[in-house]
């Protein structure tokens, strides 16, 4: 998760204790506030799989349609994370931009 957000976060349920320990979502992040929260709490999160559909979602949301703002916000979140840092966040940003560029066939 430190390199890429690989959690289906709309279906993630969090115990209140996590918010008490790590604070709430940072509302300054309009797209990736959940990613910021998950990075802050990552060492304390214990996950489990629930074999039940909790969310139905499409592929036409902001994360898939406004790629540059998503990648830029993710970069800002990653660069302030101690375990990632500015250099690795920059590398991740460039790789993600290249991947997006190739996928769009530009």
Is 75 a residue whose pLDDT tops 90?
A: yes
- What pLDDT score was predicted for residue 80? 93
36: nearest Cα among 77, 96, 65, 6: 77
CA dist 86 and 81 (Å) reads 9
What pLDDT, on a 0 to 100 scale, did the predictor assign at position 100?
Answer: 87
- Range(s) of the domain holding residue 65: 9-104
- What is the number of structural domains in the chain? 1
Between 33-47, 67-81, 83-97, the lowest mean confidence (pLDDT) is in 33-47
* Best-predicted range by mean pLDDT (4-18, 26-40, 50-64): 26-40
pLDDT of 47 strictly over 60: yes
- Greatest mean pLDDT among 48-52, 58-62, 86-90, 100-104 lies in 86-90
Residue 3 belongs to some domain of the structure: no
In the three-class reduction of DSSP (H, G, I as helix; E, B as strand; rest coil), residue 89 is classed as helix
Residue with tokens 């139905």: 56
Q: What does pTM read for this prediction?
A: 0.78
């Amino acid at each position: 998760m430190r390199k890429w957000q690989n959690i289906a976060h709309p279906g993630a349920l969090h115990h209140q204790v996590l918010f008490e320990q790590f604070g709430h979502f940072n509302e300054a992040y309009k797209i990736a506030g959940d990613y910021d929260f998950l990075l802050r709490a990552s060492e304390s999160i214990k996950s489990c799989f629930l074999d039940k559909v909790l969310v139905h979602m499409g592929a036409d949301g902001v994360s898939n349609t406004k790629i540059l703002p998503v990648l830029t916000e993710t970069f800002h979140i990653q660069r302030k994370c101690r375990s990632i840092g500015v250099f690795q966040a920059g590398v991740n940003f460039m790789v993600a931009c290249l991947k997006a560029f190739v996928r769009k066939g530009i």
